Structure 1
Amino acid sequence: MPVLTSRRLPKIQRGQDYFLGSAKQPFSASLPPLKQSFGAAASCRLPHSPGRHSNDDKFGLKHEWDDVSTESLWEVKGEDLEMVPWGFPLERTHREIRMDVGEVASRISERLRLMSVEANYCSKQAKAKCKTTDAVSFRIRLFAGGEDGQPVVVELQRRSGSAYTFMRTCRAVLDAAEGKDSNEKFSSPSNGLPPALKLPVSSMSCLSHVATANVGLESDAKEALRGALNLFRSDQRDTSLLGLENLCCLSDLVKTSADVATFACKSLIAPGDVREELRVLIEHDVFSAEENDSEGLLKFREHQRFLCLRVFANAISVCLKDGSLNNLVSDSWFAEIFVPLLLDELNRAESGLHNAFQAATCLHGLLSSSPTTFHQLLVDNGANTALEKAFKIGQSRHGLLARETRRCLDVLDASS
């Protein structure tokens, strides 16, 4: 019977092939360069292709890019484009365009501005981080399909949020990249948001002959509001965000009936605990970043702030239409606490376009309801400077922000 013996093997360094004795090279480095359009290769999905990772990332870790710049235009040069790696699993939401890459990037940035999509561009890496007005996050990246830089490949990837809104935005962006006019409307009747419903629920033809009973309507509205607030006050992040989203729907005339929305909006901005709980979440000092805060926690806080501002914007707009806002804003809370918070958001418009838009919507409602009450207060607190600054930023990057700040400036000029 043979005798089994053990031998000590030499220590293998991480990233080193024991049999070859040298560090492994990334798989893509051994492949020949792509010399033609990648159309056929795009459908090839290799299970361990490193195409989506940089050559320095040998273990498949995914990193966001560095040096993201906030620019008014996306200025991409042909030499900045990377070739599509062999076996790169492109998303179905991509197109090949035979056009100068600078023109393609300019068309995309202009369409994003018209659609009021918040975008941060990295020209060197030909990437853009985008977020719609209803918090759908997606990425845009440009590639070269051949060694001569043609065709230019435009790829969009959804990261989070509504698939309906993403596809709606994606089609408009890809059409713009090709130089086509989009049939999509760049704004919607619901506070700049792109809802799935194009008309209010009460205006749907299938419900036009349904008799609505006013008996018990207030109790139903109270129950719906109570349920949303219970979710909002939960310690679980997802549950709390769901509660805020329900409050947004209850205060939206497109997504609920006018009577329910009016009752909910009056309850939300009337003096009480609910108004204070929402106000606390839009204060930036409350969310001062700490070194040990995770990226997920920071995104959660930012999304909370956005939803709270949207609830306030919905509530003020509905109460303005109802005619009850003038009585509600007589409370000193609006002048002493709420208006300074709105001006702070406008001063931060460069880094928070959607929040600044919601703040401008709130200011316009307050000014329209009681110009004599808020005019001098806003002038004394530097509202003209903040609005003009936000207007210039909106002109180059966010159409709805430019429109709303322009309306505020017009009201201020008319009441002076």
Structure 2
Amino acid sequence: MDHADRKIAPDMPEMRSVRIGAPVAMPPRSLLRSAPTTTKSATTPLRTIATSTAEWKPSNIPSLPQMYPLERSHARVKNDTSAVAQRIASVLRQQSLAPVFEDQKASGETQCHVRFVVRLFVDGDDLVVEVQRRSGCCFVFHQVSKALLQAARGETVMALPAFVVPNSMIKEEQQRAACDEALELANELLLKDRIDAQVLGMQSLVHMTREGGCKHSASAILKGPVMDTLLKFVRLSKGIDDEFLVGHRTNMRGDAFHVLANCLAREASKMSFDKFASDQVLKSVIDELRVAAEKPHNACHAARVLASLVKNSEAIKLRAEQLDAPAAIIMAFNEGISRHAMLEEEAKALKREMANCM
């Protein structure tokens, strides 16, 4: 067939989900046009955080390898390493992404267990910032990487828009019945031995109890069998050697604190605290604050739980003081100042509750 007779296939958008090949490196910069920066009225800029609280001082940054396929989530900026690194570090802290800084990279994790790595490369006069997803939800990673690359380019990092869930159209009785059924299914999953079932059950509870979720869920959890299941995960022992199981237990423990914190924020003033008054439960909550450096997300939720408890129970407040909770709160607060803005705020609020006289 003659070359002139061949039909040229038009360029078509290619779905990312069906791609087989590896990500293609970005073409030379001279062939690209920088996209204009747009600002949506529905979003608001994040407040500025002092960069001295979260410092990243990379050195010996490697050159971009010639055959290295960059992820699509990357940006090329002017090679001002110190300024770029500090802008990224500030956003990591402000969005409470629990950053860990190393010489040539920074790693982080969201509250929903999306793990990622930020790498730096030198390419001529440019600094290449690449964000790689290690595990977790692709959509959440896209939001995180977008914010980090905006910071790298020196653009205004926009807060995520808040979507309000409209009131349910079904009757309250039907909604309550559906909620009870969903809680029963989630509890059955949590009681199984399979790790995937436990994760699915806990994620269901997190979504049901978050703001805008089922109004009946908080009361039903705190007064029903799900409460005992959650406390079982709170009291989980860490005395195992399997690294994978340790990670699973840590995540489940943090999510259990998350669910309890959401429920107590709504229903703490209307319930009995007998199940929380045991030393085993209180020690588990306070111990989580002491190890905030290891899992700041878990410590943040534990601080929310303890704040609700001491606000509504004088007995729990006195026992928390006897268990040296103030020292643990200071440790969590200092960790929040360093790399987790939400933990800083929750620890500060908890400190105020401990100081207040009921």
Q: TM-score range by the shorter chain?
A: 0.7 to 0.9
Q: 1:248·1:310 contact (CA, 8 Å) conserved in 2?
A: yes
* Residue of structure 1 equivalent to 2:245: 297
Q: Quote how far apart the aligned CAs of 1:335 are.
A: 4.4
* Residue of structure 1 equivalent to 2:172: 214
**Structure with max Cα Rg:** 1
Show structure 2 runs of 5+ residues with no match.
1-24, 30-52
- 1:322-333 matches, cutoff 5 A: 323-324=269-270, 327-329=271-273, 331=274, 333=276
Q: Which amino acid aligns with 1:313?
A: A
* Residue of structure 2 equivalent to 1:389: 331
- Cα distance in 2 between the residues matched to 1:72 and 1:289: 33
Q: Do structure 1's residue 166 and structure 2's residue 114 form an aligned pair?
A: no
- Cα distance in 1 between the residues matched to 2:356 and 2:245: 43
* Residue of structure 1 equivalent to 2:123: 145
Show structure 1 runs of 5+ residues with no match.
1-37, 43-70, 189-196
- Cα distance in 1 between the residues matched to 2:186 and 2:128: 44
Match among 226, 239, 246 for residue 204 of structure 2: 246
Structure scoring higher RCO (CA < 8 A, sep ≥ 6) equals 2
The 1:86/1:347 distance shift into structure 2, 3 A limit, reads same
* Residue of structure 2 equivalent to 1:97: 77
SS in 2 for 1:156: strand
* Residue of structure 2 equivalent to 1:288: 239
- Cα distance in 1 between the residues matched to 2:63 and 2:322: 55
- Cα distance in 1 between the residues matched to 2:296 and 2:338: 11
Give RMSD over aligned pairs. 2.3
- 1:351-370 matches, cutoff 5 A: 351-370=294-313
Percent identity, please: 26
SS in 2 for 1:118: coil
The 1:263/1:384 distance shift into structure 2, 3 A limit, reads closer
Q: Quote how far apart the aligned CAs of 1:332 are.
A: 5.6
The 1:41/1:301 distance shift into structure 2, 3 A limit, reads farther
Q: Quote how far apart the aligned CAs of 1:93 are.
A: 0.5
Q: Do structure 1's residue 306 and structure 2's residue 254 form an aligned pair?
A: yes
TM-score, L = length of structure 2: 0.80
The 1:158/1:198 distance shift into structure 2, 3 A limit, reads same
Q: Which amino acid aligns with 2:139?
A: Y
Q: Do structure 1's residue 265 and structure 2's residue 221 form an aligned pair?
A: yes
- Runs ≥4 in structure 1, deviation > 6 angstroms? none
* Residue of structure 1 equivalent to 2:15: none
| CA deviation profile, 1:296-321 (whole Å, cap 9, x unmatched) | 3332222222221212112211213x
- Name the stretch that deviates more: 89-98 or 162-171: 162-171
* Residue of structure 1 equivalent to 2:41: none
Q: 1:265·1:319 contact (CA, 8 Å) conserved in 2?
A: no
| CA deviation profile, 1:217-270 (whole Å, cap 9, x unmatched) | 44332211111111222222112110111111222232x231x323433335xx
* Residue of structure 2 equivalent to 1:61: none
Q: Quote how far apart the aligned CAs of 1:289 are.
A: 3.3
* Residue of structure 2 equivalent to 1:348: 291
- Cα distance in 1 between the residues matched to 2:235 and 2:106: 28
- Cα distance in 1 between the residues matched to 2:204 and 2:184: 11
- Cα distance in 2 between the residues matched to 1:363 and 1:275: 16
